[in-house]
Amino acid sequence: MLLWHIVAGLFCVIATPRVQCWAVNDVTVVEDEYGILGNQTVKRYTFSNSKMTVQIITYGGRISAIKVPDAHGGTQDVVLGFDNLKGFLQKNDPYFGAVIGRVANRIGSAKFTLYGAQYNVTPNEGQNQLHGGLRGFDKVVWEPFLHKKKLTLSYVSVDGEEGFPGTVITHVTYELTPDNELIFSVKAATTKPTPINIANHAYFNLAGHASGPNGLFQHVVSINADLYTATDNQSIPTGELVTVAGTDLDFRTPHQIGPLIQQRGGYDSNYCVNTDGHVGLVFVSRVVHPESGRYLEIYSDQPGVQFYTGNGLPQQNSVDPLTGKGGVKYHQYGSFSLETQNYPDAVNHRNFPSSILNPGTIYSHTTIYKFGTTAEERMSCHNSKYN
């Protein structure tokens, strides 16, 4: 293999074993081999700027690590995951960091009608389908293409896969900017009308992936949404859009998450993002961990965001624990996810934003994950030329 190095327009080639490296505009990308699955090589891409590091693997297009500094000079990994490919191949992997598709979230009764034809897709959560079925986008090896600092992963989902109509080609692009923004963008096209709803399922804990529920409960959450999609006892939307006002789902002003979870249990709800008529990227959510000073802001062009607090992870006293990075035991309420997407089961609700992709049109989704510390924000305000 070769080491590729680009700095200020200068291109160098240096021999080195099984590693490639690109450096563009203060962002370095290193490629190495992560594992072997059958006859396919799973690769890992490590993005680094002056402050943070992000790792992506081609199995499931997964975010396997995000290491960011805190306000006190320390650095920690703030996403849950595994140390190696074997971990991600476990049956009890809860989609850690994965690209979810062809349809993220749930399809009620694992069926839908499209232009007069009924389609039965693979049920994998009781009678319903969750996150694309038994072998969704999270369980395939994506084909990588690295151009400068952008990694594009491609996958062709064939006609009939998991019961869905049409062959769909999907391109997922990851990019780390010098300003600590991880950009996740998706494009997809189809040969037949089909539902599409692609998301990323990173499990975050800004106190550090190993800090568990105690760390999560310290987080302060805000979500830019006046409404949420009501669901039945199987988490399938009823079709009703309900105001968050006066409920424990109201995060229009920041709330510490711990006391709320202790009172009500965890969260697993889709919020209808306020756009105020704006088309394109809008503010979705801000999460702060005051003790470390870390924050995460999310901007997206999707109509919904699923707020999930790791309810399905093993309980503290479980006889079947989930062992993650560094031998850490992951537990219920030890993480949060903010999955930007269309509304769940949108294919079965005419009053929801349409999830149907037709031939000749392009599905598009962009989400920005912005990391920082509250200390940096204070310094930025203090040094502002407007002060």
* Domain layout of the chain by residue ranges: 2-382
Q: Which pLDDT score, from 0 to 100, does residue 62 have? A: 98
Check if the beta carbon of residue 187 is closer than 8 Å to that of residue 363.
yes
Q: Which pLDDT score, from 0 to 100, does residue 170 have? A: 98
Tracing tokens 């961990």 back to the chain, one arrives at 289
Q: How far apart are CA 260 and CA 248, in angstroms?
A: 7
Which one of the listed residues 161, 339, 349, 365 is annotated catalytic? 339
Query: Is 202 marked as binding a ligand?
Result: yes
Q: Which pLDDT score, from 0 to 100, does residue 19 have? A: 66
- Residue among 225, 369, 209, 204 nearest 297 (CA): 369
Say whether 349 is catalytic.
no
Q: Which pLDDT score, from 0 to 100, does residue 148 have? A: 83
Please give the average pLDDT of every successive group of 10 residues along the chain, which has 387 residues.
28 43 80 97 97 98 98 96 97 97 98 97 98 98 94 98 98 97 98 98 98 98 98 97 98 98 97 94 98 98 98 93 97 98 98 98 98 78 42
- Class of the CATH domain delimited by 2-382: mainly beta
Query: Is 230 marked as binding a ligand?
Result: no
Which tokens sit at 350?
């005419």
Query: Is 106 marked as binding a ligand?
Result: yes
Q: Which residues, 6+ apart, have CB-to-CB distance to 380 below 8 Å?
A: none
Which one of the listed residues 201, 209, 219, 365 is annotated catalytic? 201
Q: Which pLDDT score, from 0 to 100, does residue 384 have? A: 40
Query: Is 203 marked as binding a ligand?
Result: yes
Q: From residue 384, how far is each of 70, 174, 377, 381 by CA, in Å?
A: 22, 31, 10, 5
In order, the DSSP letters of 63-117 are EEEEEEE-TTS-EEE-B---SSHHHHTSTT---TTEEE-SB-SEEGGGEEEETTE
Q: How far apart are CA 149 and CA 24, in angstroms?
A: 6
Using DSSP bridges, classify how beta strands 20-24 and 10-15 pair: parallel, antiparallel or unpaired.
unpaired
Q: Which pLDDT score, from 0 to 100, does residue 375 have? A: 79
Say whether 339 is catalytic.
yes
What is the pTM (predicted TM-score) of this model? 0.92
10 Å Cβ neighbour count for 227?
Answer: 18
Burial environment of residue 315 by CB neighbours within 10 A (0 to 12, 13 to 18, 19 or more) = exposed
